[in-house]
Amino acid sequence: MRKILVWPVIALMTLGLAGCASDKKQTTAEIEDASVGAGGVSASGLGSGSDASGQVIGSQAGTVDDPLSRRVIYFEYDSSVLTDEGRFIVEAHAAYLASNPGMAVVLEGHADERGTREYNLALGESRGAVIGELFQGLGIDPSAIRVVSYGEERSVALGHDDNAWAMNRRVEILY
């Protein structure tokens, strides 16, 4: 039990230090060390991931033919089945990653606001996992792939209509 009480102090100290440092990766690792059985992969980090997605949505409005410029895969309601277009984009990224071994990829799954939060967490996970499996099938090293689901917590469109929901049902391919 003593160990348990110590943990938050360590966490607080590390997080406090993180306030001054700019290296988030290191912070993450230190917290993981204090835990039991964490599966430690943390490649690109979350913040840079969010940056990448922001750029992609902007550029999508333009005309870009290169599928590698599209890093957001959209899904139907309550579905984790890839559309033909989604599969085309995923395959392009898989080919790129396969020719650039050593790159780590984070698949960030999301859901629209309908349905319960925990169910949507699971749904975002399933969406990410589908792409992860396809990546593996296309020759990407499983250890280079990490799936993280934010469920409905990180919407890119804040409306309550079909258009907003369609934008939010997505997986972001981050590397």
Partner 1 sequence: MKRLILAVSMLALSLSGVRAVALTIEITKGADGGIPIAVVPFKWQGQTALPVEVGDIIAADLYRSGQFNPLPVDDFLSRPSDESEVKYKDWRLIKAVNLVVGRVTQMGTDRYAVRFQLFDIFRERQLAGFRWEVTGSDLRKIAHQISDKVYEALTGRPGAFDSRIAYVTLLRTASKGSEYQLMVADADGYNPMQILRSPDPILSPAWAADGAWLAYVSFEDGRSKILVQNLHTGARKKLAEFPGINGAPAWSPDGKHMAMTLSRDGNPEIYVMHIASGSLRRLTNHSSIDTEAAWSPDARHLVFTSDRAGRPQIYRMSAAGGRAERLTFEGKENARASYDRTGKHLTLVTNQGNGDQIGVFSLSKGSLEILTDGRFDESPTFAPNGAMILYAAQRGGSGLLSAVSADGRVRQVLRSESGTVREPAWSSLNR
**Which residues of this chain interact with partner 1, rule CB under 8 A?**
4-5, 7-8, 11-12, 15-16, 18-22, 24, 27-28, 31-32, 34-39, 41-42, 45-48, 50-51, 78, 113-119, 121-123, 125-126, 129, 146-151, 153-154, 158, 160
CB of 51 to partner 1, least distance (A): 6
The total of other beta-carbon atoms located within 10 Å of residue 166's CB is 15
Q: Where are the alpha helices (DSSP H) in the chain?
A: 2-20, 24-33, 46-60, 84-98, 117-137, 162-168
Closer residue to partner 1 in complex, CB, 122/138: 122
Phi first, then psi, for residue 36 (nearest 5°) are -105, 135
Closer residue to partner 1 in complex, CB, 80/86: 80
CB 76 within 8 A of CB 170: no
Please give the radius of gyration of the chain, using alpha carbons only, rounded to the nearest integer. 18
CB of 105 to partner 1, least distance (A): 14
Closer residue to partner 1 in complex, CB, 86/151: 151
Closer residue to partner 1 in complex, CB, 86/165: 165
CB of 75 to partner 1, least distance (A): 14
CB of 32 to partner 1, least distance (A): 7
The total of other beta-carbon atoms located within 10 Å of residue 97's CB is 22
Distance between CA atoms of 144 and 147, rounded to whole angstroms? 10
